[in-house]
Structure 1
Amino acid sequence: MGGPKFSLGNARDDLLRGGDDWDKFSQFWENLPLDPYMGDGGTYRRRKYSAISYDVADGGVRVIDQDGFLQSEEINRLNGGITRRFEPVDQALLDTAVFRRMLAHFVARITADAPDGEPVAPVRRINIHQHRIVATDRELGNPTPEGIHRDGVEHIVMMLVARKDITGGVSTLYDNAESPVLTHTLRNPGDYIFVDDRTSKHSVTPVQVAPAAAEGHRDMFFLEFC
């Protein structure tokens, strides 16, 4: 199969070219509720989740089931095996120019990279995750408490929305034998790692609150193409 297939970039540079679209998008991380399903007892993660269908031909977006998010225990050793129900992503976020451009951009890349003869689905299921990982002087924030893992989908966009008053949060990609192939820190808003989940695994180091700050956070946006 070869090594992991991935690329790095910045969505603000690749897709937006200035304007105030980013501010309209990033504001949606200010009202995320606490994740109540943390198997380690942590109170450091806030999140929302929705699943959508995306029509490749006309760009149509439709929110589909809200039956919850389920991963196997094999995929997620910490929180797998149960259906987790989260507050859905705001419809207003789904209507932003940033979100629509991201969908079109990454679907086009997936389609272009498909092997010859591989059928391209006219409608894609996409899982959308908003995360805020909070660090305080009492608790570290752990972006990947399940450890080295894959998400069990086809492709993933892992994009930084904001970093504030934290250290850490270093991402590592591994091949399927869990040998590291990339160590990289998402530092600037819009920085992303785009990865073929079938060819790799990943992890992120914990985040600590920066000296002299009472609290810090790392905001992330994930698109999972199923």
Structure 2
Amino acid sequence: MRTIHPGELDTAARAIEAGELVIVPTNRWYMICANASNADASGSIFAGKRRPSGKSLVYVVPSLAICEQHFQLGAEARKLAEQFWPGDLALLLPWRDPDDAARHAAVGSPALTTMAPGVLGELAARAKVPVAATTANISGDAGPNDRGPAVTLDEVHAFLAVSGLAVSVIVDGGVCPAANHMTIVDCFTPEAKLVRTGLVHQRAVTAALGREVRPS
């Protein structure tokens, strides 16, 4: 396992392409990443995190144009993407091609999709394969002392010790300040539905769509 600086992201990208796991910092917390089309690599994340198979990883798109090549964006989905991407918002989007959905089962159908700022977004832009990501923590409620996903390198190493996951590269981003979730909006139907609130506030989603949006 190698710890690198954010300026060495090509190393992380090559590891993803080779079917290895990488951990990167975000504004929110550290994320563990794999090739979204590599079933073994993505599957190892589910196993290590004890994550239910129906709880998808997020598909990190490098640009809105590439997102449109693979996914159907309705009018409201497009408004949200144009307003908040890159950012702390994920959209549940229908695939254009059912074969693509089958090849990327780890990110679900509809796919949980985002265009991330910072190191995670740059990793997606540099990798020659699609990037799937999720938080660096064991899934589920671990009790009242659970602090949630890792926000420091020490917490990353504690997670790896518990999960048993073999990670090739960790990108050192210092302390992740926000310690909060992405907002998730379901855009599978023409009228978007708020699934989970997070750093993008419900009021911001409402303002972007020009109508009241409440959690479903």
Q: Give the TM interval when normalised to the shorter protein.
A: under 0.3
Say which structure is richer in helix: 2
Comparing both chains, which one has the higher relative contact order based on Cα–Cα distances under 8 Å and sequence gaps of 6 or more? 2
Say which structure is richer in strand: 1
Report the TM-score when normalising by structure 1: 0.27
